[in-house]
């Protein structure tokens, strides 16, 4: 991938995260990047295409991070803590209005994000829960039920409608959702490891 294209995507993604999608213009990006509009339009013929490409760039980063964690030799709880950290670090500087604007102005792109997270959860959660049960860290509930409950919670909370009606930051909402879910899922041994691992990250 060409250097200018990556530079544009990284800068645009950060700006979208901080300011939302709607008000950011291609003219602004060109001026702030000190690039000609011709250069930006060479790679991104429209703002919608730029939004789509930055979202795909973000998906690639998330997917690679998740695969690295899942394939590690850590126990299931340490993996869960690492996954939560990847998600919360990513969303730490995201304004909630970004999700609202994305759903409102780019519904197909938002649908793609939802389909991506469902696919990633379907692909990885059952594997993680089965590992945790074998290690005695996760209670012996059917993985299909646990996966479905987790997916439902994440899709309900990390959702534009939720932030329109609730005064919570995206980062805090994600962290609290996982903590509530894990409190009912982990064994006592699993909880000890979870809070130890979480404390180590928070320090």
Task: Please tell me the total count of domains within the chain.
Answer: 1
More confident residue, 110 or 163: 110
17: in domain: no
Q: What pLDDT does residue 96 have?
A: 74
What tens digit of pLDDT does each residue of 40-59 get? 999 999 999 999 999 999 89
157: in domain: yes
12: in domain: no
Q: What pLDDT does residue 202 have?
A: 55
CATH of the domain at 97: 1.10.357
9: in domain: no
* Closest of 127, 147, 115, 133 to residue 187, by C-alpha: 133
Helices 3-19 & 26-33 angle (0-180, nearest 10): 120
6: in domain: no
Q: What pLDDT does residue 9 have?
A: 94
What tens digit of pLDDT does each residue of 64-106 get? 999 999 999 999 999 999 988 888 787 776 777 788 888 889 9
Residue with tokens 């209670």: 139
Residues forming a β-bridge with 138: 186
Q: What pLDDT does residue 134 have?
A: 96
188: in domain: yes
CA distance 9 to 12: 5
Full residue range of the structural domain in which residue 73 is found = 60-202
Please state, as a whole number, how many other Cβ atoms lie within 10 Å of the Cβ of residue 130.
Answer: 13
117: in domain: yes
The burial class, CB within 10 Å (0-12 / 13-18 / 19+), for 145 is exposed
174: in domain: yes
CA distance 20 to 95: 7
Q: What pLDDT does residue 165 have?
A: 82
């Amino acid at each position: 991938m060409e250097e200018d294209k990556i530079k544009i995507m990284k800068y645009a993604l950060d700006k979208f995260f901080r300011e939302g999608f709607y008000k950011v213009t291609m003219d602004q990006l060109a001026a702030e990047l000190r690039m000609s509009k011709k250069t930006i339009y060479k790679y991104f013929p429209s703002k919608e295409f730029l939004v789509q490409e930055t979202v795909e760039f973000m998906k690639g980063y998330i997917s690679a991070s998740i695969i690295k964690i899942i394939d590690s030799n850590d126990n299931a709880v340490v993996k869960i803590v690492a996954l939560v950290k990847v998600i919360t670090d990513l969303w730490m500087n995201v304004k909630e209005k970004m999700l609202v604007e994305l759903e409102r102005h780019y519904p197909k792109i938002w649908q793609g994000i939802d389909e991506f997270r469902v696919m990633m959860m379907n692909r990885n959660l059952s594997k993680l829960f089965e590992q945790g049960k074998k290690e005695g860290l996760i209670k012996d509930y059917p993985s299909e039920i646990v996966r479905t409950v987790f997916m439902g919670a994440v899709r309900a909370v990390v959702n534009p409608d939720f932030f329109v009606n609730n005064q919570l930051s995206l980062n805090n909402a994600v962290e609290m959702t996982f903590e509530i879910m894990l409190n009912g899922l982990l064994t006592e041994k699993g909880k000890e490891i979870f809070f130890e691992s979480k404390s180590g990250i928070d320090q």
